[in-house]
Structure 1
Amino acid sequence: MFEGNTLQTTLTVLALLIYLFLVHKAVPKLGDIMQNSRLKERSFNQASFSALLIIRIFFIAILLFIWGVDFNSLLIVGSSAIALLGVALFASWSILSNVTAFFILLFSKSFRRGNFIRIVNLDNFVEGYISDINLINTTLITEQRELLIYPNNLLVTQPIIVNPKSHIMTVGKTTDLFVKAKPIRMKRNIR
């Protein structure tokens, strides 16, 4: 009676063991990384929820594949869902990039709560202390105690100076940062 399903049962048990390993070992590692980066508990909850959701979706997809669910009927439903999702993502692509950037920043050792950063954006700059990192944005506190809410995708794509030697204590143009440099004279040793 069960002889025809032994391969599927074995693969299901193997997939379940991998799922349990990921849930009980990988997600707590995420918690250790969060503690090292000194982020708030809410950020950990958002990161663990997102990681668990991704793991569960992959687990369900693997189970459907193992048990031979007719993908032809699922293909019609799936393609319709992907078309709707594509329209929704096209309208809000930046939200997805912010969530992806959240995980990149989460694993970055130099991007921790309490660090002072300067974000250089072409002719402008912003600087402040990292107060909180959320799924969509990061909160910075300036020297004047102003709150700056900066999108995560911009933090990943723009140059950032972590703990600069001097604090400018403002938001402004980068041309204000530079003083005219004296030309350097090179000595040539020609023999």
Structure 2
Amino acid sequence: MLLEVYKTQLINSVIIIVIFIIIRALARLAIRKIGHKSGVNEARIALICRYLTVSLVFLLLLIEAFILGVDGKDISLVFSSVFAVIGIALFAIWSILSNITSGIIMFFSFPYKVGDKIQIHDKDYPIEAVIEDIRAFQLHLRLDDGNLVTYPNNLILQKAVTLIQKDAIEDFGDFH
């Protein structure tokens, strides 16, 4: 009897979950193709895929709430309360979010890859180094003397950068 009452909601929920799985698979495939075509390492591709999955799960939960008959006012109250708390908490760590956002932007449009030697035109601390790794929060840059410099993603997008040599890491060997 209970199944008959919620039959429409259950069918709609199954349809939405199937659509979610298909969209997630297609989006992950597209991200992987873009990543491999751009020469991005596998760890960064996996990170962007995780961001996508979390975003899609939040969207799925919102749609599922509407399917199950939750009132729009209730959802807006919950979301506004949650976003207010998250907003206050994230204000304290805005630079971390800025670096994560910059990392996502760099995944799709950063013209330099791991192994390229670049020069960062920073007035206070100019750097000429080889990109050893591009992570969620920072780049790992290897100086000619072998020292490792971490450079925040949000700053690299704000500074002028010159490509000195492509695939320069081969000239310096493996630093790991």
What is the DSSP-based 3-state SS (H/G/I as helix, E as strand, rest coil) of the residue aligned with 2:114?
A: coil
- Residue in 2 that maps onto 1:26: 27
**Identical counterparts, % of pairs:** 30
Q: Which has the higher helix share?
A: 2
- Residue in 1 that maps onto 2:85: 84
The one-letter code matched in structure 2 to 1:31 is R
C-alpha distance in structure 2 between counterparts of 1:4 and 1:24, whole Å: 28
C-alpha distance in structure 2 between counterparts of 1:116 and 1:55, whole Å: 36
The structure with the largest alpha-carbon Rg is: 1
TM-score if structure 2 supplies the norm length?
0.77
Question: What do you get for the CA RMSD once the two structures are aligned?
Answer: 2.9
Offset at 1:92? 0.6
- Residue in 2 that maps onto 1:36: 37
- Residue in 2 that maps onto 1:131: 132
Alpha-carbon contact 2:44-2:107 (below 8 Å) kept? no
Structure 1 unpaired stretches of 5+: 166-191
Gap change, CA 1:9 and 1:162, over 3 Å in 2: farther
Map 1:147-158; keep pairs closer than 5 Å. 147-158=148-159
The one-letter code matched in structure 2 to 1:82 is F
Offset at 1:19? 1.6
Alpha-carbon contact 2:141-2:148 (below 8 Å) kept? yes
C-alpha distance in structure 1 between counterparts of 2:61 and 2:77, whole Å: 18
- Residue in 1 that maps onto 2:173: none
Offset at 1:125? 1.6
- Residue in 2 that maps onto 1:67: 68
C-alpha distance in structure 2 between counterparts of 1:10 and 1:51, whole Å: 25
Alpha-carbon contact 1:119-1:159 (below 8 Å) kept? yes
Offset at 1:158? 1.8
Offset at 1:139? 0.6
C-alpha distance in structure 1 between counterparts of 2:148 and 2:14, whole Å: 50
Offset at 1:76? 3.6
Which deviations, in whole Å up to 9, do the C-alpha atoms of 1:154-178 show, x marking residues without a partner?
A: 111222112369xxxxxxxxxxxxx
Offset at 1:12? 4.5
- Residue in 1 that maps onto 2:146: 145
**Bigger Cα displacement from structure 2, 102-111 vs 30-39:** 30-39
C-alpha distance in structure 2 between counterparts of 1:66 and 1:148, whole Å: 50
C-alpha distance in structure 2 between counterparts of 1:38 and 1:145, whole Å: 24
Structure 2 unpaired stretches of 5+: 167-176
The one-letter code matched in structure 2 to 1:119 is I
C-alpha distance in structure 1 between counterparts of 2:146 and 2:127, whole Å: 13
